[in-house]
């Protein structure tokens, strides 16, 4: 794997990662509630999910065509329900713990876990890892070779983190200058609306 392919992979994933979606909304919401530490905890959970997606897509070489439509539907239903529930519970809690010091114990572990599920059941991640990603790595030969695997995974994880970093930093800055409540309502509401949309599209 040469540097060109590494950068092409990283650039494609950066574009997908920086685009607004449920990962971005969770990072915003976690940062509004508990500052940069909470946002970073959510980001770490998302990265673990992305690690799983990229390793699965590379080692099993699964593509969208091979995944049963029933599994897709189940994943979307789980994603819709979880987004709705998470949006509701975040909105109900309110941005009470806007400073790191006031954050309740266990809050960061919760954000990491939320990040993990949000990242795993992300319809945009499904599209990326099962449709775009296989095309991007198709010339690499044996993608189960540990070296190739490590290169691809490092490109994905670094670019995903780089895509979420501007949202983390700007959310932290907004929370600091007194917009924590607005940010909280906006990102919690976005998660809720995405949950409704995913569910609505499934049943309509």
| Shortest CB 49 distance to ligand ARG, Å | 9
Which positions ≥6 away from 9 have C-beta within 8 Å? 136, 137, 152, 155, 156, 159
Determine the size of the site formed for ligand ARG (CB under 6 A): 14
Which positions ≥6 away from 126 have C-beta within 8 Å? 64, 72, 75
Among residues 90 and 97, whose Cβ is nearest to ligand ARG?
A: 90
Which residues in 91-110 contact ligand ARG (CB under 6 A)?
none
Q: Of the ranges 19-27, 37-45, 146-154, 173-181, which one interacts with ligand ARG (CB under 6 A)?
A: 19-27
Q: Of the ranges 17-25, 61-69, 136-144, 173-181, which one interacts with ligand ARG (CB under 6 A)?
A: 17-25
* Residue 19 within binding range of ligand ARG, rule CB under 6 A: yes
The Cα 47–Cα 160 span in angstroms is 7
Q: Of the ranges 36-44, 62-70, 119-127, 177-185, which one interacts with ligand ARG (CB under 6 A)?
A: 119-127
Contacts 24+ apart (CB under 8 A), 170-174: 171/27, 171/28, 171/31, 171/32, 171/39, 172/31, 172/35, 172/36, 172/39, 174/32
* Residue 160 within binding range of ligand ARG, rule CB under 6 A: yes
Q: Of the ranges 65-73, 108-116, 120-128, 195-203, which one interacts with ligand ARG (CB under 6 A)?
A: 120-128
Query: What are the angstrom distances between the C-alpha of 97 and each of 33, 44, 112?
Result: 5, 20, 17
| Shortest CB 78 distance to ligand ARG, Å | 15
Among residues 31 and 160, whose Cβ is nearest to ligand ARG?
A: 160
The Cα 33–Cα 36 span in angstroms is 9
The residue within the footprint of ligand ARG, chosen from 10, 17, 43, 190 (CB under 6 A), is: 17
Which positions ≥6 away from 49 have C-beta within 8 Å? 115, 116, 117, 118, 119, 120, 122, 125
Q: Of the ranges 11-19, 35-43, 75-83, 98-106, which one interacts with ligand ARG (CB under 6 A)?
A: 11-19
Which residues in 20-49 contact ligand ARG (CB under 6 A)?
21-24
Class of residue 39 by CB neighbours under 10 A (exposed 0-12, middle 13-18, buried 19+): buried
| Contacts to ligand ARG by CB under 6 A | 13, 16-17, 19, 21-24, 50, 122, 124-125, 128, 160
């Amino acid at each position: 794997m040469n540097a060109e392919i590494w950068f092409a992979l990283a650039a494609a994933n950066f574009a997908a990662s920086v685009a607004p979606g449920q990962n971005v909304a969770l990072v915003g919401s976690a940062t509004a509630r508990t500052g940069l530490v909470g946002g970073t905890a959510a980001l770490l959970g998302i990265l673990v999910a992305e690690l799983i997606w990229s390793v699965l897509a590379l080692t099993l070489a699964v593509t969208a065509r091979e995944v049963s439509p029933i599994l897709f539907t189940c994943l979307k239903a789980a994603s819709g329900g979880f987004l709705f529930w998470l949006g509701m519970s975040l909105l109900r809690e309110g941005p009470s713990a806007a400073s790191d010091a006031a954050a309740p114990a266990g809050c960061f572990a919760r954000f990491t876990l939320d990040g993990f599920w949000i990242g795993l059941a992300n319809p945009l991640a499904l599209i990326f890892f099962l449709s775009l990603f296989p095309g991007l790595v198709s010339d690499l030969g044996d993608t189960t070779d540990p070296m190739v695997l490590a290169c691809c995974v490092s490109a994905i994880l670094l670019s995903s983190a780089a895509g979420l970093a501007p949202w983390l930093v700007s959310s932290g800055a907004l929370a600091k200058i007194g917009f924590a409540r607005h940010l909280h309502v906006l990102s919690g509401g976005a998660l809720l609306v995405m949950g409704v949309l995913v569910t609505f599209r499934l049943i309509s």
